[in-house]
């Protein structure tokens, strides 16, 4: 069964936000780009804005889509729709994650990231667009 999810590559002051799952999650200690499920009748942008507010208590502006990736985890398949986003308002409050960090995009290579997120970064166009966006 395929699940469609969105994720936000949130940039502020040239830094990229990554969040870490906790010990009791389905992906213990893995890092990811925050996001989540798309509700029926919701656009990708609406889902991202809602998920980020629910999980992190911050407001974002969705800027542009990146290339989606299909990834198979044991027992399930996800279609990940990534978006470049800007942090706009609020203080980061981790409601569902163990940790959150603002890092240089190149530092993602040193993190134990969710496989779908890592695969998405491996797409050459996605990586180039993220780097260009983070340097604006």
pLDDT at 2: 87
| pLDDT tens track for 34-60 | 999 999 999 999 999 999 999 999 999
CB 70 within 8 A of CB 3: no
Q: Which pLDDT does position 101 carry in this prediction? A: 95
Nearest CA to 14 out of 135, 109, 132 is that of 135
pLDDT given for residue 1 in this prediction: 78
pLDDT score of 96: 86
pLDDT of residue 84: 98
CA 13 remoteness from chain centre: 17
Give 104-107 contacts, CB < 8 A, sequence gap 24+: 104/14, 104/15, 104/16, 104/134, 105/16, 105/130, 105/131, 105/134
**DSSP notation for the chain:** -EEEEEEEEEEETTEEEEEE--TTSSSTT-EE--EEEPPTT--HHHHHHHHHHHHH--EEEEEEE---EEEEETTEEEEEEEEEEEEEES----SS-SEEEEE-GGGGGGS-B-HHHHHHHTSHHHHHHHHHHHT-
Domains in the chain, start-ordered, CATH in brackets? 2-134 (3.90.79.10)
The list of the chain residues with pLDDT below 70 reads: none
- pLDDT of res. 90: 93
Residue pointed to by tokens 């986003």? 85
């Amino acid at each position: 069964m395929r699940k469609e999810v969105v994720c936000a590559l949130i940039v502020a002051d040239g830094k990229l936000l990554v969040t870490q799952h906790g010990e009791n999650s389905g992906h213990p200690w893995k890092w990811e780009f925050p996001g989540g499920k798309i509700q029926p009748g919701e656009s990708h942008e609406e889902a991202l804005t809602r998920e980020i507010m629910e999980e992190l208590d911050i407001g974002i502006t969705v800027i542009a889509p990146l290339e989606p990736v299909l990834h198979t985890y044991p027992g399930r398949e996800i279609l990940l729709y990534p978006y470049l986003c800007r942090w706009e308002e609020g203080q980061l409050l981790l409601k569902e994650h163990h940790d959150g960090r603002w890092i240089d995009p190149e530092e993602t290579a040193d993190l134990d990231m969710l496989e779908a997120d890592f695969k998405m970064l491996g797409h050459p166009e996605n990586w180039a667009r993220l780097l260009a966006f983070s340097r604006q």
